[in-house]
Amino acid sequence: MNREIKRVVVKVGTNVLTNKDNRILGPVLRELVRQIAVLYEEDIMVVLVSSGSAIAGMEVLGDTDIKDKSVRRQVYSAVGQPRMMRHYYSIFHDYGMRCAQILATKRDFDPGKHRRNMINCYEGLLSEGVIPIANEDDAVSLSMSMFSDNDELASLVAELLDADRLIILSDTDGLFTGHPDDINSKMIHEVKTHHNVEKYVQASIKKEGEGRGGMASKLKIAKGTANKNIPTYIANGKRENVIIDIINNKEVGTKFISA
């Protein structure tokens, strides 16, 4: 295990946590927690940034008569967030570990008392060996104080805590030179922040005829975080042992480092 690493932020996206029918996958949650437990035994603390609350709420409520998209998102998230935490709490308990929920809006990262308050909360939990599980506070976030997505939240948390690694888990193996399904596409294993790899995302858009905003967003966040001297990875969250393999410097996913 890499002894130099003490703090890791892991972001797991909805596409990792769900199947094609938008159902939460218990085995995927368990595999995530198992890896976090292995790292914990090596004195490596993980902060988990987890999506999935809206989908979890949708599973409970099903279709709704609420027409306003923003209100619908708030309601689904408010119902789903405690459900997600119940899943995590139960699985962490099985591994003899404790977890906690931290919900945030973008203003909580503004310089000043809000930011200091966030740092105190995270540091207090980590000092007690409690795994923080972060998500956007969708129930109260205003559009002006919303994160672009949980990738941005994960990046801000990594910077806040001076993390040693940021790992963004998606449903793709990493950054490719074209569409991942194209046999002529090759995966890029390492990117320096000055490299123009945005062209590959553009090539992918042209190839499939629709936007790939997800990867474009991840690319921007990964480069920005790497520029703050936090090595950042984009990797497949459904790949067995993916987090541990990254910590052990195996060639997994796409690694972003500062130029």
Closest by CA position to 92, among listed 42, 154, 29: 29
For the beta carbon of residue 223, count every other beta carbon within 10 angstroms.
21
Contact criterion met (CB below 8 Å) for 134 and 155:
no
- Residue 213: predicted pLDDT: 39
Residue 149 is classified by DSSP as S
pLDDT of residue 144: 57
pLDDT for 230 equals: 97
Cα(88)–Cα(168) distance, integer angstroms? 19
Sign of the dihedral defined by the CA atoms of residues 7, 117, 114, 141, in that order: positive
- Quote the strand ranges of the chain, DSSP E: 7-12, 45-50, 98-104, 130-136, 165-170, 175-176, 187-188, 190-192, 232-236, 254-257
Q: Which residues of the chain have pLDDT under 70?
A: 3, 138-145, 202-213
For the chain, domains (ranges, CATH) are 7-257 (3.40.1160.10)
pLDDT of residue 138: 67
pLDDT for 209: 34
What is the pTM for the complete model shown?
0.91
Name the residue with tokens 């797991």. 12
Q: Compute the distance between CA of residue 51 and CA of residue 198 in angstroms, rounded to an integer.
A: 25
From the list 76, 82, 71, the residue with the least C-alpha distance to 59 is 76
Instruction: Determine the Cα–Cα distance for residues 224 and 198; give it in Å rounded to an integer.
Output: 13
**Per-residue pLDDT tens digits for 105-132:** 888 899 999 999 999 999 999 999 999 9
- Helix, strand, coil percentages for the chain (3-state, nearest 5): 45, 20, 35
